[in-house]
A and B are shown apart, each in its own frame.
Chain A
Amino acid sequence: MSVQVWTYILVGITFSIYIGIAIWSRAGSTNEFYVAGGGVSPLANGMATAADWMSAASFISMAGIIAFAGYDGSVYLMGWTGGYVLLALLLAPYLRKFGKFTVPDFIGDRYYSKTARLVAVLCALLVSFTYVAGQMQGVGLVFSRFLEVDMNTGVIIGMVIVLFYAVLGGMKGITYTQVAQYCVLIFAFMVPAIFISFQMTGNPIPQLGMGSTLSDGSGVFLLDKLDGLSAELGFEEYTSGSKSMIDVFAITLALMAGTAGLPHVIVRFFTVKKVKDARKSAGWALLLIAILYTTAPAVSVFARTNMIDTVNNKPYAEMPEWFSKWEITGLIAFDDKNGDGKIQYVADEKVNELKVNRDIMVLANPEIANLPAWVIALVAAGGLAAALSTAAGLLLVISSSVSHDLIKKMVKPNISEKGELWAARGAATVAVIIAGYFGINPPGFVAAVVALAFGLAAASFFPAIVLGIFYKKMNKEGAIAGMVIGISLMLFYMLKFKFGIFDGGKAAVAGLQKDWWFGISPEGFGSVAMLVNFIVSIVIMKCTPDPPAKVQEITENIRIPSGAGEATGH
């Protein structure tokens, strides 16, 4: 059977499962819609969190980025896993004990202020919208390549599916579809990795294969070979990287704090029964995420080596079938500069004849390695699972921010539960349509902003929540000032150094690199903005009145794990 038939079968089966689950787990109350009724088991929540977290970026893009960045790619591996340690130790148990529906709920109550809540709602919407547009694009990419439908049709099919189960099932529907999606995506990621690892090194475990010798009998270590190839072609040595140490440090920190501060991840911990379960499910989540995150760098090494071996100095006419298929999508481009009919792939831009989009490394990897058709189709189903599960989680944050934080808590407090539920569904529908629009007409900045969303979360939520738990005397003046200054500073730095707004636009960006503060890139600047947020909050707090005794009591109360009732909106 051809790849395409397999893809239709596998995507068809997985989509039917998601829809079946959605019908089975319809939400009947706001409690079920926002936090799945609060009775999700730690393992199920761990799986749902892992699927929620691992987006199209983790599944499709990350291994490709690392394949081209080598050691520099470590920032994503450490940053996007290390954040879970912060989440498990500093945030999740306390927020669960606090027992509300959303992150702005916590900020608004802990800082006894509507302004604080509003700032938090705006931050949550900004972060979530930029993120969800990226997911829709991922769905479009997979559909267009594997099912050979138009990219826009792909986005619309994805929208309809997400709309169906997010709007119908709310958090409850999303949670159980995410459990299924985790299984699909991890299976889809691991199977080709195991195949290729065995093929290249004789060791079926990718994490070990990456550090093994090649199975071609040369006795050379795979990583040594790749280092050698990279140097030969004029790239940085694979295991060394080219970013400065301070920048690697700053980016890792920004990604860790950002991960811990992302609203769609935090809300997952409101769905378990007890504080104890929140801790445990953070452990499960990271374990399940780590399976993919320790395999991804191995996939990067395999893919990069395979790709160089397949294309470099080989005649264009002899390229395998996958090469021309990806050429059609425009993600691979060959330009025979010296007219010798062979592909020269080198670091020097003037001589280099091959452009490869990083996103295709995972998607094309099974084809490059000549794996069976069903494995290639599986990757398509996995990519869709990853993109859809994250999109659904984000849509929930957007809809609850609107229906719960804006409408119920600020505009119309006496709205009935039924009314709130309909408002949530309406908001989810509008959000899907907007996300789909951006998926079809991606503004040029989406990809850039997704990476920076972490900086924004690190600069705003993370300090406000940590201080709210660990610093009893932190008051609303300090927290609001910290969040506003932190996120403004981050936005300013982003606009200046990522978009060149103040210096004549995008073209000026490369020239501005030497002006980076402390040599830190916009991606890493979230860690500086976060420090500024912490300092501003504490200084302002010292000059303003203590929080009311009742609020200090709340803080004392969330530190004690027992007596966590059901999450409520009141």
Chain B
Amino acid sequence: MSEKQKKATAYWKENVRYLFILLTIWFLVSYGAGILFKETLDNFKIGGFKLGFWFAQQGAIYVFVILIFVYVRLMNKLDKKYGYTD
């Protein structure tokens, strides 16, 4: 494998690792807190919201937005590290 290819493979591996972590969080806040564990979480309240209901109609969406911006930051750093910036 050439040097160039090795670099590309290493970059891709790190990228996929980020994806895996971020998508796990994506899954947990929506399918987890908003659906699968909704009933249990509904026993807790924040303000007038039952917690599971809040995740399904508010919380999950906030986390989604944060996830994309975190991804943007992580990838910008990764691009720099491997010299893939234009």
Contact = CB atoms under 8 A, between A and B. Distances in A.
Interface of A: 66, 71, 73-74, 77-78, 81-82, 84-85, 88-90, 93, 207-208, 210-213, 221-224, 239, 245, 248-249, 252-253, 274, 276, 279-280, 282-283, 286-287, 290, 293-294, 297, 470, 556, 559-564
B72 A280 contact: yes
Interface residues of B, number: 44
Contacts, number: 130
Contacts of B5: 556
Specify the main secondary structure of chain B where it touches its partner: helix
A470 B20 CA distance: 13
Given A282-B68, A294-B61, A560 B84 contact: yes
Interface string B43-86: 00011111001101110111011011101100110010001111
A218 to B, nearest CB: 13
A435 B5 CA distance: 49
Contacts of B61: 77-78, 81, 290, 293-294
A494 to B, nearest CB: 23
A291 to B, nearest CB: 10
B57 A297 contact: yes
B8 A82 contact: no
A74 B34 contact: yes
Given A78-B34, A89-B22, A297-B58, A279 B48 contact: no
B86 A77 contact: no
B35 to A, nearest CB: 5
Contacts of A210: 48-49, 58
Interface in B10-40: 11-12, 15-16, 19, 22-23, 26, 30-31, 34-36, 38
A66 B79 CA distance: 42
A254 to B, nearest CB: 13
Contact of A89 (B35, B53, B71): B71
B48 A245 contact: no
Contact of A85 (B53, B56, B64): B64
A252 B31 contact: yes
Contacts of A280: 72
Nearest to A280: B72
B13 to A, nearest CB: 11
A89 B31 contact: no
Nearest to B11: A560
A212 B8 contact: no
A221 B53 CA distance: 14
B30 A290 contact: no
A349 to B, nearest CB: 27
B23 to A, nearest CB: 7
Given A279-B71, A560-B84, A286 B48 contact: no
Contacts of A222: 48
A249 B75 contact: no
Contacts of A221: 47-48
A383 B16 CA distance: 40
B48 A223 contact: yes
Contact of A211 (B26, B47, B56, B69): B47
Q: Pick the 4 closest A-B CB pairs, nearest first.
A: A221-B48, A74-B56, A211-B47, A211-B48
